Amino acid sequence: MYTLFMFRLNTIESLTFILRDSVGAPVTGALAADFKGGNLFLYKADNTKVSIALTLGTNFYEVDATDSPGLYSIVIPASSLSQLGTVTFSIQPAAAVFVSQVIEKTVSNISSKTDLIGTASVSSLSD
C-alpha cells in the first residue's frame, strides 16, 4: 500500500493522532473542552495562525476507544490548507488531560494518486 504523508492543497483532510497522558498512557474520552480554547491551532507555511473550533461528532472524533485507545481524528477544512508547504498543528490541552504535541505535514498540489504515476508502481497505488 502506498501512503501519502502529505495533505492536498485546498482539500478537506483528516489529521489523525494519539493523545497520551504525562506517563505515556493513551487518553480516551477526550472532549473538545479538553483542548485549549476548544481549538486545534494550525500554522500555515507563512506562519499564519488558524484556530479550528472543535465539535465532538462534527469535526472531532475519537476513532475507537476499545481497539485503538487514544486515537483521534480532526477534520481540517480545505480553507486551512490553502498554501503549499509545511503546515504545523499545535495540539494543546486546556489542563493536564493530555500532553501537548506538534505535528507537521506538507501541503502539496498533488491532486490524485494518478499524479504519482512514475514515482511509484501503479500496483502500489491502491486505496
pLDDT in tens, 27-79: 999 999 999 999 999 999 999 999 999 999 999 999 999 999 999 999 999 99
Query: Minimal CA–CA distance to 83: which of 47, 49, 44, 50?
Result: 44
Q: Are strands 85-91 and 68-76 parallel, antiparallel or unpaired?
A: unpaired
Residues 6 or more apart in contact with residue 41 via CB below 8 angstroms? 49, 50, 51, 52, 89, 90, 91, 92
Output the pTM of the full model: 0.81
pLDDT at 110: 75
Strands laid side by side in the 85-91 sheet: 6-8, 101-108, 85-91, 39-43, 49-53
Cα separation of 28 and 97, whole Å?
10
pLDDT value at position 6? 86
| pLDDT above 90: percentage of residues in the chain | 79
